Structure 1
Amino acid sequence: MSRFNIKHWFLGGLAAASLVGGLQAETITISCGAVGAERQLCEEGTRLWSEKTGHEVQVVSTPNSATERLSLYQQLLAAQSGDVDIFQIDVVWPGMLANHMIDLSEHTDGVEEEHFQPLISNNTVDGRLVAMPWFTDAGVLYYRKDLLEKYDQPVPETWEQLTATAETVMAAEREAGQDKFWGFVWQGRAYEGLTCDALEWVASYNGGTIVNPDGEVTINNPAAKKALTVASQWVGTISPKSVLNYTEEEARGVFQSGNALFMRNWPYAWSLTQSADSPIKDRVGVVALPRGEESGQHAGTLGGWQLAVSKYSNNSELAADLVLYLTSFQEQKRRAIQGSYNPTIPALYRDEDVLAAVPFFGELFETFKNGVARPSSATGDKYGRVSNAFFNSVHDVLSGEANADQALSKLERDLRRLGRRGW
């Protein structure tokens, strides 16, 4: 995408600064995602800040694919563009984008101490707080309570149990005339979301991470091969072949329309499955993702998004004020209740209003707090290339282009070559 096109991507319809109360109102531009209710909640939050301060906010959408969004950001920042003041960045991006962001600790007055400290540490690069946590995430399993009860099936504890249950219920539902019904939907496109899904499978079989904290490439091991082999057997059986092009929203579309028994997704999908017009309202349960066999572990990849202020912004102080408002206790509470977005402030997991709206927040608190981290810290600014190599290798296994042994052996060689001079 050319810089000219990037500019027009962001600036189409950008409003000029307006007059408020006789004073010149500044316009702050923020990039927000549009997965689920993200765009709506972002617009509502920025509108509340606008009413409070008298300044304008322009919300611009970015690609839902995290991989495409990162590429867009990197091109904008490389051009030192001031078109966007605030960037919504993934939990694995602070190290890659730190040089382009201001130090927010100069504006926080210590409020970062109220947040999960691992996230604050994650967002601190070379002593600079380059982003504030907005919401956190870990992958979870959604299931149809009514269908498990109908067919007298338990909530699965292992991937093997999930596979067997999905086969049983899918066959019965199709025999009953539901010819579009599937057992399990998830994120299978070759993008960052597949890195998250596949890392959960590998970790659940005790296969470790892609690169360990010491920088050693560890992915080529028997447990990881077992995990990917199991997942590859879902495609075309309990999962549609089109799952190989699913992101979060495609998976949610199938599940929420009533056409799947299980779904792997992030917590944001809960409020949407419970909306008034949802065909499966009040029929959904949420639990930790299954273990790999009996000896494995429940593993949810740590996700979440942060807000960072570009150092190329012409209104960095005002932008920092908006960031602090959007990441505040009250605003995170509103987003948790209305959109089931996980707060980054531990106190909100004891809030009665939040727990009434999203009951599983309390039950899965440890899952959210101790999610499986992607190896962004160990690999630094090469993480994007590491993840790209990983999700493409996994996609090859899922699509039948290679078996797990071939794919992981090649991946190991490629990653060792990439990290030869240090991460």
Structure 2
Amino acid sequence: MRFERSHTRKAVALAVAGSLALLASACGGDDGSKSDTSGGGAAALDGTGPITFATGKDTSGNLTNQVNAWNSQHPDQKVTVSELPESADSQRSQMIQNAQAKSDAFTVLNLDVVWTAEFAANRWITQLPEDKFPDLGKLLPSTVDTAKYRDKLYGVPVTSDGGLLYYRKDLLDKAGVKPPTTWAEMKAACDKIKTLPEGKTIGCYAGQFEKYEGLTVNFSEAVNGAGGVVVGDDGKPNVDTPEALAGLQFLVDGFKSGEIPKAAITYQEEPGRRAFQEGNLVFLRNWPYMYALANKTDGSSKVAGKFAVAPLPGKDAAGVSTLGGHNYAINEYAKNKGTAVAFINFMASEERQRANIEKTSQAPTWASLYDDPALNKTFPYLAPLKASIGSAKSRPKVVKYGDVTTAIQEAAYGALTGTTPPKDALSGLQAKLSTLITQ
């Protein structure tokens, strides 16, 4: 799941969001700190007509095709795409500004799976009756769970995500090594590849380490891969542990040794993808969307046909992915909610999800697509990805998620950049999370 997703339309959306934010501030609007733990009741989902779909920047290039398919069949219920910035943090900020102003500028929201609790508790999105979405039972159960808050449905999962390890198969084959299952095996593979003429200057490993949502994901995967947890099953933070320290230390040591290139501290999904496609990395942790782009034969990728994917490695065995993906929700203040329901069902359908994976390689939520022989031939990562999503761990499901992820990012970034010793970073994070996460 990337944390991102013409220009005229985008500029208008930004301007509207900014104006609404100022209006909300001037009128003493809700600052988002108030939570309604009861969750709003399911509002009337009626009314048809034009709607707006607010989503992150579409780097896949296929969203227009998907929306056009709807518009061609529903000319009186046209969907207009409002593209928000590439950064997930900026997307969330603009959606919250829109909600705090009680604006109907956005109708359907493309929400990162970890935003469900925050948006539902603040009544920024509408509770959805499950009988309005008859295909829910055909989706991967773990993805449906991300769209619920206090056992009530607030969205429909349209794309899922699990982290994958992209690797240069050509170089591993030449060096005589297999895809790694542990961090030590990954380092050993890089050391062997370094002895090859074409491997002398190539970087070993990278992920997403800029201070944004992707760092929360990569930090969580490192902790989980070492046997730790960020938040336990009891809902309490648990990062001041030897396991969490081992996970963070793996990343810190990677930067210190050069195994992780210094430039990776600025990597989000797209810069990392471009580095891998330019042939500058042996291994890269990224999402499934990258597969189709890296395999293009139009000259944009130097590694087309030369790479493969594997599960993420861990400290002593295979690692654990963070569960990603996006859910489509309905703005509480929107008009034409009947059209919004129909549009969400359309986009979540097996037909549209199949069309999307064929064009973009993004992970679907429709379970049967993972077992489709034709799709598996084109996208050989589907079987391990299904297993990855099934065993993936969620980021903290908390109402104050924005504050929680900011605390995680600051602690992890401080350790990676050498400004805070890893153990101090984790003890400080434990104290901070304890004040933010309440039951």
TM tier, smaller: 0.7 to 0.9
Looking at structure 1, the residues matched to 199 and 161 of structure 2 have their Cα atoms a distance apart, in angstroms, of 37
Query: How far is the alpha carbon of 1:56 from its aligned partner?
Result: 2.3
Q: How many corresponding residue pairs?
A: 394
1:290 to 295, 298, 313: 313
Q: Is the 8 A contact 1:332 1:343 kept in 2?
A: yes
1:9 maps to which residue?
Answer: 14
Residue in structure 1 matched with residue 330 of structure 2 by the alignment: 309
The aligned counterpart of 1:112 is 136
- The letter of the residue matching 2:95 is Y
Tell me by how many angstroms 1:27 deviates. Answer: 2.9
Show the counterpart of 2:372. Answer: 351
User: Distance between the aligned counterparts of 1:234 and 1:263, measured in 2?
Assistant: 13
- Please tell me the root mean square deviation across aligned C-alpha atoms, in Å: 2.2
Structure-2 residue corresponding to 1:231: 251
Contact 2:312–2:318 under 8 Å retained in 1: no
**Does 1:336 find its partner at 2:357?**
yes
Q: Are 1:161 and 2:185 matched, yes or no?
A: yes
Whether the 8 Å CA contact 1:167–1:238 is kept in 2: the answer is no
- Distance in 1 (CA, whole Å) between partners of 2:244 and 2:13 is 43
TM-score using structure 2 length: 0.85
Q: 1:206, 1:297 within 8 Å by CA — same for their partners in 2?
A: no
Other-structure match for 2:42: none
Determine if contact 2:142/2:389 at 8 Å carries over to the other structure. Answer: no
Please point out which of 113, 116, 123 is paired with 1:91. 113
Secondary structure of the residue aligned to 2:255 is coil
Distance 1:59 1:191 in 2: 24
What's 1:216 paired with? 236
Residues 283-326 of structure 1: CA distance to partner in whole angstroms, max 9, x if unpaired?
11101000203xx4421111001111112112111122111111
The reply to whether residue 185 of structure 1 matches residue 206 of structure 2 is yes
Report 1:9-408 matches (<5 A). 9=14, 26-34=49-57, 36-37=59-60, 40-54=61-75, 55-98=77-120, 99-105=123-129, 108-126=132-150, 128-170=152-194, 172-173=196-197, 179=201, 181-207=202-228, 209-235=229-255, 237-277=258-298, 278-293=301-316, 296-376=317-397, 380-408=398-426
Report the alpha carbon displacement of residue 171 of structure 1 after superposing the two structures with TM: 5.9
| C-alpha separation in 2, matches of 1:387 and 1:70 | 12
Unpaired runs of 5+ in structure 1? 13-24
Q: Are the equivalent residues in 1 in contact too, given 2:164–2:385 (CA < 8 A)?
A: no
1:227-276 Cα deviation digits (max 9, x unpaired): 21121122260222121111000100100111111100011111111112
Q: Which residue identity is paired with 1:95? A: A
Aligned residues with identical type, % of pairs: 27
Equivalent pair of 1:10/1:83 in contact (CA under 8 Å) = no
Describe the shift of the 1:127–1:158 C-alpha distance in structure 2 as closer, same or farther (beyond 3 A). closer
Per-residue deviation, residues 194-214 of structure 1 (Å, max 9, x unmatched):
11111111111111x212121
Normalised to the residue count of structure 1, the TM-score between the two structures is: 0.88
State the partner residue of 1:16. Answer: none
The alpha-carbon deviation at position 280 of structure 1 amounts to 1.0
Q: What are the Cα deviations for residues 165-189 of structure 1, in whole angstroms up to 9, with x where unaligned?
A: 224424645776xx4x311121001
Q: For 2:243 and 2:383, locate their aligned partners in 1 and report how far apart those are by CA, in whole Å.
A: 31
Deviation at 1:387, TM superposition (A): 1.6
Structure 2 unaligned regions, length at least 5: 1-9, 18-47
| Cα distance in 1, alignment partners of residues 362 and 128 from structure 2 | 23
Classify the secondary structure of the residue corresponding to 1:233: helix
1:93 is paired with a residue whose SS is: helix
